[in-house]
Structure 1
Amino acid sequence: MNQKIAILCSGGDVSGMNPALKRFVEYAYARNLQPYFVRNGYEGLIDNHIVPADYHDVAGIITRGGTKIGSARSLRFKEASYRAVAAENLRSHGIDRLIVLGGDGSFRGMERFYHETGIAFCGIPSTIDNDINGTDYCLGVDTALGVIKDAIDQIRDTASSFHRAFVIETMGRDCGYLTLISAITSGAELCLIPELPVDIDDFKGCFQSQIAKGRDYFIAVVSEALDSKKVAEWFEKELGFESRVSVLGHIQRGGNPSVYDRLMAFKFVTYAIDALLEGKNHSIICYNKSHFNFKTIDEVALHPYRLDEELLNLAREQFLPTRCQM
């Protein structure tokens, strides 16, 4: 077992990383490779927190959110001198292949690292924001959607009991994916995302008509890129509904990984290890239309992510004021 391979997590943690680590160790051994963990992302590469991994390290972690080996955002890795230190640390362990669970920023860093050092890598898209260009799905998003769904379902109980408007803020940075999917699947009355700018005042007549026909509470799901407090104030001022804001925050990142995220973690890691053994030295494994494929860093990281047009059409049909049922 002379060949060695390492894995690290970079950026925000997601539920699905621990199942990926479990599969990494088990499949590496199956392919006659010695697996290594890099603790705390690129910071761990620089500080030489690189350790051999075995079955004991991954026993029982498949049910846990987050990542057992830690993650980090590393400013030092942006500097060539620290990348040189990281490369020397990997070489001192005899490691020349690396799997990176992270986002497009992490992948850009690895692309530069590869060209400077020749250390091969394969990236696995891992972010609940689901905002990486070139892939329909990122590891962790399914669990995050489940957490949001449970939260909205529970908030609805109070909203209906007290006849209130609840404004629920989801994560996602500048991408409205979590917000839109959650709003559609929770039966929300209002969805506000950056990709579909609207004037909330345009909803006033529509909502007043619905109130006259019996609607006595509202659920609004709003992207964190927008102002949830102003939306709540609008419900109170314009519609006379007592309102509350619920910022879900980092609970969306954690939690018991869903069945789908566990399964996809296993598949992603399998494809990544196979790709590195087949000589694909700097690629990202993506998932499109129920198929896995490999893309270059330029395809993934140098183009902005855009919501699928079919999803946007659903949003227009469901949530634009021009489609509102009077």
Structure 2
Amino acid sequence: MKPFTYLRADDAATAVELAAGAGGRYLAGGTNLVDLMRQGVEAPGVLVDVRSLARGIDVEPDGTLLLGAGVTNSAVAGHPRVRAEFPLISRAILNGATGQIRNMATVGGNLLQRPRCLYFYDTAARCNRREAGAGCDAVDGGTHNHAVLGHSPHCVATHPSDLCVALAALDARIHLHGPGGERVVALTDLHRLPGDEPSRETILEPYELITAVSVPPAPWARHCVYRKVRERASYAFALVSVAAALDIDDGVVRRSRVALGGVAAKPWRSYEAERVLDGQPAGPALFLAAARTALADAVPLPDNAYKIPLATRSIVAALTQLAGADEEAR
């Protein structure tokens, strides 16, 4: 690991000032960044420690959940109000990593994880995310775990976060503080598809800091499921994951949410599948139609065509589980 300067900030404004003044990077739990530094993939000269900032979990009077960016994943997953009112978040986190990692990893850091592409981690390989314009060895290499939606000839990596998939389904918003002041963006807008600029992974401006995540109240979203398919039962990244919620009234889907992980460079919210579901009688034919719609634009790579039927069946299974739970509740 190359030497670096370590700084600590007491508030968001100071953190931004320190990072912008020194060309630094933000450090919270370090479960991703420090690994990348050890492997020589990243080598920031200055780290600004923001772990002590924004560590609260609050539910506002209108029912909005507010998660400080510095709160740990374990604290979020185990919080009674999160488990009771936003169970999709808790379930996604518990599916996402080992207990040791959850104890260190933060909400803000989880959102900004770098891709888990083997070629990105291999400094001897060409990678447009690691070095703009270098090329992408993954495109003609092993693509077993890579994207089927939204990829480009310049990058085929997937986003690794489980939490982001749940937040995409729940219409979460990201609160930012940067040199230009504060702003709020939708979680679904935070991450960019690779296009011809894979090195730009998010819409964050230079030195912008995530300070919080807010999730609007959604009592109907308590009827939810997080389904993750991985290569082994222990800690592993998703081949495909599904965050789904259904509000069914008298056998008809009043509203739905469908988001996918493991299939694109960002959490993939399928508004198209939701439009197929909403207002229609719940049942196997509808669920299959919605799942096929969600994958209609998928383009497989040489080694990952299996992901399309896998994702299709995972969506159907998640929706079927929800519909069955609704029947049992009645």
Q: TM-score, normalised by structure 2?
A: 0.25
Higher relative contact order (CA 8 A, sep 6+): 1
Which protein has the larger Cα radius of gyration, Structure 1 or Structure 2? 1
Report which of the two has the higher share of helix.
1
Q: TM-score, normalised by structure 1?
A: 0.25
